[in-house]
Amino acid sequence: MEYLRSAIASIKQNKGRTLLTMLGIIIGIASVITILSIGNGMKAYVNSSLDDMAGGGITINIDPKKTDRYLEVDQLLRIKEAVPDVLGITISIGTSGSILTGRDELFTGITGGMPDMINEFKDGMHAGRFLREDDVESASAVCVISQRDAILLFKTDDVLGKNFTLYIGPKSAEMTVTGVLKSSPQEVESAKRVLKEQEAAYYWSEMYVPYTLLTSKFGLSGDKITSFKFYTSPGIADETALKVKSVTENILDIRGESAVKIQSFASIAGTYTSVLNVVTLVVAMIAAISLVVGGIGVMNIMTVTVTERTREIGIRKSLGARTSYILLQFLTESALITLIGGMIGMLMGFLFTRIVGNFMSFPPVISPENVLMVVTISVVDGLFFGIYPARRAAKLDPIEALRQE
């Protein structure tokens, strides 16, 4: 406690000089906390975006370079029955076309699927229904669109039963809207703004139709299934994927050929996260250089302090102060300087993070572990760079010290 009181008294005597010494520590701590928070926020944003894209689904691909075998729809349903953890299974055929609603023509992406594709959409239906088994069996000219696209296409989201013409190449079909998927409030407001500014023609819509409509009416290939997606509960995705892969290999009788591949968005997210971790770490290390500069500043100022207090050190040693006492006194002072600088830097880091977050499309995430780590490093920094001046003070000869004016 005596060491601490002595350190506080010394700092109070040289407030301006101490503050200038702390600047490097403050800037370093604030920079590192801000960068790590942005990196954490970016990782959370990327993972969330990939989850939304994947809808919790995992894709299984059959490599055409390793086998010429493929699945049929009844075999796909056998896979679902064989693996109880599979909540749904579907094929997905993608293409593009254009939509004619009155005088307006808009481009659209078209995905042909099965009823279990409803698992893609966590927010569920806004109105109507999703695709049904009878739609697939009869290749019905029905579709499901989002609230956002309903507003862009029809200027309202009350579109159940509305008709339009779908063109894919030279072929066309009269489509009926049977379901509207729920969109976020932000997407709905964005669509209304686009409509108001008459820019709907520049936007790409999406629709979901029975895959059989694309294969029978528009002549797309889809009966030979070499890729499908299944859905499962969170936490058991990897385990379920291995079971689905095994059953698929058994059905096709291609075990041991490595022809069946698992494409999990969880692994893709892991790859992105690893890359972002490396980038964040590198940038944080560059910012942390200012901590080293700050530490050198602490060493410099403590060396000056030792020089200024040489006579005081001599008096203390002549009165019986131990070498260890002098050493701990100056180490405590250097650690306290960096600790105070670290706390100020932490608060500045929080402020910078909030300011930067206002200009980004995702919120930065402040991790308590990161903050604790950075502040701890700043204290260790002070101790490390305070060793030299502290040892110099502790080793002073009392007689020589007393001679100093």
- Dist CA 366 CA 181 (whole Å): 34
Question: What domain count does the chain have?
Answer: 2
Same domain membership, residue 281 and residue 246? no
Domain boundary (263, 282, 303) is at 263
How far, rounded to the nearest angstrom, does the alpha carbon of residue 311 sit from its chain's CA centroid?
57
Element (H, E) at 160: none
Same domain membership, residue 203 and residue 282? no
Which amino acid type is present at position 175?
M
Same domain membership, residue 275 and residue 239? no
The first and second tokens of residue 67, run together, are: 């086998």
| pLDDT score of 273 | 67
Same domain membership, residue 304 and residue 208? no
Write down the H helix ranges in 2-99. 2-13, 15-54, 73-82
| pLDDT score of 9 | 66
| pLDDT tens digit at each of 405 positions of the chain | 565 666 666 666 667 777 777 787 788 888 888 888 888 887 777 666 655 554 557 888 898 888 888 898 889 899 999 999 998 999 989 899 998 776 667 889 999 999 999 988 888 899 999 999 999 999 999 999 999 999 888 889 899 999 999 999 899 999 999 999 999 888 899 888 887 777 766 678 899 999 999 999 998 887 788 889 998 887 777 788 889 999 999 998 888 778 888 876 555 556 666 777 777 777 777 766 767 777 777 777 777 776 666 666 666 666 666 666 767 777 777 778 878 888 888 888 888 888 888 887 778 888 888 778 877 877 777 777 777 666 666 666 555 545 555
Same domain membership, residue 149 and residue 206? yes
| pLDDT score of 388 | 67
Same domain membership, residue 385 and residue 327? yes
- Dist CA 387 CA 144 (whole Å): 70
| pLDDT score of 182 | 94
Same domain membership, residue 324 and residue 235? no
Give the phi and the psi of residue 159 in degrees, each rounded to 5.
Answer: -120, 10
Residues with Cβ < 8 Å from 29, sequence gap 6 or more?
A: 291, 341, 342, 344, 345, 346, 348, 349, 374, 375, 378
Same domain membership, residue 334 and residue 239? no
Strand locations in 56-92, DSSP E?
57-62, 86-90
Segment 93-150, tens digit of pLDDT: 989 999 877 666 788 999 999 999 998 888 889 999 999 999 999 999 999 999 999 9
Residue 395 structural domain: 2-48+271-403
Domain boundary (211, 243, 263) is at 263
Same domain membership, residue 20 and residue 122? no
- Dist CA 2 CA 11 (whole Å): 14
| pLDDT score of 266 | 58
| pLDDT score of 115 | 95
| pLDDT score of 101 | 72
Same domain membership, residue 217 and residue 106? yes
Same domain membership, residue 158 and residue 19? no
Same domain membership, residue 101 and residue 230? yes
| pLDDT score of 39 | 80
Domain boundary (234, 263, 292) is at 263
Contact (CB, 8 A) for 144 and 131: yes
